[in-house]
Amino acid sequence: MKSNYVYDLLIIGGGISACVFASKYLQSNITKKVALIEVGRGLGGRSSTRISKRFKGWKLNHGSPNFNICNSKNNLLLKSFIDDLLENNLIKKDDSDLVFLYEESNLENGKEFDFSNGDNYLSLSSMTQLSQKIIELNNLRGEIDFYFESLIIDLKFNNDEWTLTSINGDKFKSKYLICSTTLLLHKRSLEILNINQIPLRKAIPKNKDKRIDLLLNSLEKQSFIPRLTFLIYTNEDYSYKDFYSKKYRYFYLEKELENKYKFERVVFQLQENNRLGIVVYSKNIDFVNSYTKAKDDEFYKQKVLNNFNELFEGNSSINQLTCNEKISIMRWRASQPSGLAVPLSLQINRKFRIGFCGDWFEGEGFGRIEGSILSALILERKLKT
């Protein structure tokens, strides 16, 4: 049966930016009726954890495994939020080994990478739980309602009120809307949602509002990096060659090696049951495209095992994998925005009672968790004024 829900504020998306926004919003709006709508089964979005039904006891962070904060401009809003997360024991400084592999002799040094500049932090639980716990910091009496497995496909704005329709036909109404995903604002929605007009464009037609037009025009120039992650559930007797005991270990591949092996990084994640999980990341466009076309998982799993073994052959810490390791593959159609970032000045539209946050806004955190968090903090502050 289709349902109708009414709220003061609706948030679309349950990634880290939406969770940061919701948490800060609840701090000063305890009487408001708030709901968060997410298509997935839980929170975290692109920084979430795969809890496999097939491989019991494994928790692999398959999107962003950790996050880095550069904050070169010393933004105090961001600094104090990160300090809060540290004080509440939600995160800690990540002092795991970070090894940079490059051509020639596989020598290792501490060179920096987009995802490792500045201070690195890891969740004290899993990445999914980090998003959950961020909300729980201020959702003390369960003020917020969650709707999971609800894909919003249509937006309407009439009589100063938003109406959202999910793919199941449920309707959600609110006076204010926060949208943390570009899916409903970008042309990729047409194919993914099988619709013929971008939902926000349909809700607010062209020339009705200059700032909405600017936002949609600027998003037209944004594209997205697809990625593959290979989750390797290693055999019981697989371990390091050395006695490394920290939870994570990161290997980054320099460009030439990345081109050769098709991996950008390999992240080892020690599990609670002491087994060693491995996540191999690839954004090599030829590799990702050929995987997408071929739809031959077994072939690509074997290829990843072979490349892994070749890459780490003779490495002093990493053992070879056998050909019967269990692997699952995750394809991220839009793992990160690239191209033009959206100006922060377009983040809020008071006439249409809508605000936006996410890693698609301008700033040094563009395309990373840092940008997601900062945009959410700025949005919440703007809403207050």
Ligand X SMILES: Cc1cc2nc3c(=O)[nH]c(=O)nc-3n(C[C@H](O)[C@H](O)[C@H](O)COP(=O)(O)OP(=O)(O)OC[C@H]3O[C@@H](n4cnc5c(N)ncnc54)[C@H](O)[C@@H]3O)c2cc1C
Nearer to ligand X, 68 or 71 (CB): 68
Eight-class DSSP state of 207: T
> Closest approach of Cβ 236 to ligand X, in Å?
27
Nearer to ligand X, 239 or 333 (CB): 333
Determine which residue in the list 36, 219, 369, 374 makes contact with ligand X, applying CB under 6 A.
369
Q: Could you report how far apart the first and last alpha carbons of the chain are, in Å?
A: 40
> Closest approach of Cβ 2 to ligand X, in Å?
16
Determine which residue in the list 11, 60, 130, 152 makes contact with ligand X, applying CB under 6 A.
152
Residue 181 within binding range of ligand X, rule CB under 6 A: yes
Query: Where does residue 260 rank: exposed (0-12), middle (13-18), buried (19+ CB within 10 A)?
Result: middle
Long-range contacts, 124-127 (Cβ 8 Å, 24+) = 124/89, 124/90, 124/91, 124/92, 125/90, 126/49, 126/59, 126/61, 127/44, 127/47, 127/48, 127/49, 127/61, 127/63, 127/64, 127/65
Residue-wise DSSP of 89-102: TSEEE---EEEEE-
Q: Find all residues with CB under 8 Å of 53, minimum gap 6, and list them.
A: none
Structure tokens at 32: 């408001």
Structure tokens at 102: 């490059």
> Closest approach of Cβ 296 to ligand X, in Å?
21
> Closest approach of Cβ 168 to ligand X, in Å?
12
CA distance 274 to 303: 26
Nearer to ligand X, 47 or 307 (CB): 47
Determine which residue in the list 359, 377, 378, 383 makes contact with ligand X, applying CB under 6 A.
359
> Closest approach of Cβ 37 to ligand X, in Å?
5
CA distance 364 to 371: 7
> Closest approach of Cβ 27 to ligand X, in Å?
19
Residue among 297, 316, 347 at smallest CA distance from 101: 316
Residue 180 within binding range of ligand X, rule CB under 6 A: yes
Residue among 177, 178, 199 at smallest CA distance from 189: 199
CA distance 28 to 80: 17
Which residues between 212 and 271 bind ligand X (CB under 6 A)?
227, 229
Determine which residue in the list 11, 17, 300, 378 makes contact with ligand X, applying CB under 6 A.
17
Helix (H) or strand (E) run with residue 163 in it: strand 161-166
Residue 183 within binding range of ligand X, rule CB under 6 A: yes
> Closest approach of Cβ 39 to ligand X, in Å?
4
> Closest approach of Cβ 324 to ligand X, in Å?
25
Residue 372 within binding range of ligand X, rule CB under 6 A: yes
Q: Are 36 and 204 in contact (CB under 8 A)?
A: no
CA distance 243 to 329: 29
Nearer to ligand X, 137 or 151 (CB): 151
Tell me how many residues contact ligand X (CB under 6 A). 39
Q: Find all residues with CB under 8 Å of 89, minimum gap 6, and list them.
A: 124
Determine which residue in the list 9, 14, 146, 269 makes contact with ligand X, applying CB under 6 A.
14
Determine which residue in the list 12, 35, 122, 278 makes contact with ligand X, applying CB under 6 A.
12
Determine which residue in the list 9, 11, 18, 354 makes contact with ligand X, applying CB under 6 A.
18
Q: Which stretch in 81-89, 210-218, 329-337, 344-352 sits in contact with ligand X by CB under 6 A?
A: 329-337
Determine which residue in the list 146, 162, 308, 332 makes contact with ligand X, applying CB under 6 A.
332
Mark 101-140 with x for binding to ligand X (rule: CB under 6 A) and - for no binding: --------------x-------------------------
Q: Which stretch in 93-101, 178-186, 253-261, 304-312 sits in contact with ligand X by CB under 6 A?
A: 178-186
Residue 284 within binding range of ligand X, rule CB under 6 A: no
Which residues between 42 and 71 bind ligand X (CB under 6 A)?
45-47, 63-65, 67-68
CA distance 154 to 144: 22
Separation of CA 353 from chain center: 25
CA distance 67 to 81: 14
Determine which residue in the list 9, 39, 198, 354 makes contact with ligand X, applying CB under 6 A.
39
Residues that bind ligand X in the complex, under the rule CB under 6 A: 12-18, 37-40, 45-47, 63-65, 67-68, 115, 151-152, 180-181, 183-184, 227, 229, 281, 332, 335-336, 358-359, 367-370, 372
